Chains A and B, each alone.
Chain A
Amino acid sequence: DSGVTQTPKHLITATGQRVTLRCSPRSGDLSVYWYQQSLDQGLQFLIQYYNGEERAKGNILERFSAQQFPDLHSELNLSSLELGDSALYFCASSVSGAGYEQYFGPGTRLTVT
């Protein structure tokens, strides 16, 4: 158990809908990272927050947004969902903003039908 929690574990929704994925980092970790893993793909970095502020941005679509709250939990919002958004979404946390060793949650499997 990495200490990173993600909810929900599974999510099935229809195209055009909006969903929110939630992540709680390990106790003491200030950085949260979001990754997307599509079928047969590696982990694609989406976005990083450090102590409430956006720190780095990857290939995150404009339809996607994230935030980190004062209690350090983070939410990833996905809107106007398309079939291609079906993927595993992982959250990771690290102590610092440099994030050399990131600890991953179990992921949320999103299925868009």
Chain B
Amino acid sequence: EDKVVQSPLSLVVHEGDTVTLNCSYEVTNFRSLLWYKQEKKAPTFLFMLTSSGIEKKSGRLSSILDKKELFSILNITATQTGDSAIYLCAVGSGGSNYKLTFGKGTLLTVNP
């Protein structure tokens, strides 16, 4: 059974702090790892990673994948209250039967 484990499950920080969210996985026929931000309803796409060691960056957010150790991290620098959300890690696996397996998410709370 495919597994995606995120840690920590929740995190409370102050504005300006830097946070690192973790995602480890065990899946058959790995294809990609995706990070989403879920605020109220729909998960909003952040990054998709397919290759080890290549950092993807968007503003204050960055992410990297290690396919040997089977994990990814999502970094957020200079956090803002608007970063408060659940961050979901999902792993895409399969070929024509491609699907995403999600972790439970990390609830990030950024206090002013």
A and B found bound together? no
Enumerate chain B interface residues (CB-CB to A < 8 A): none
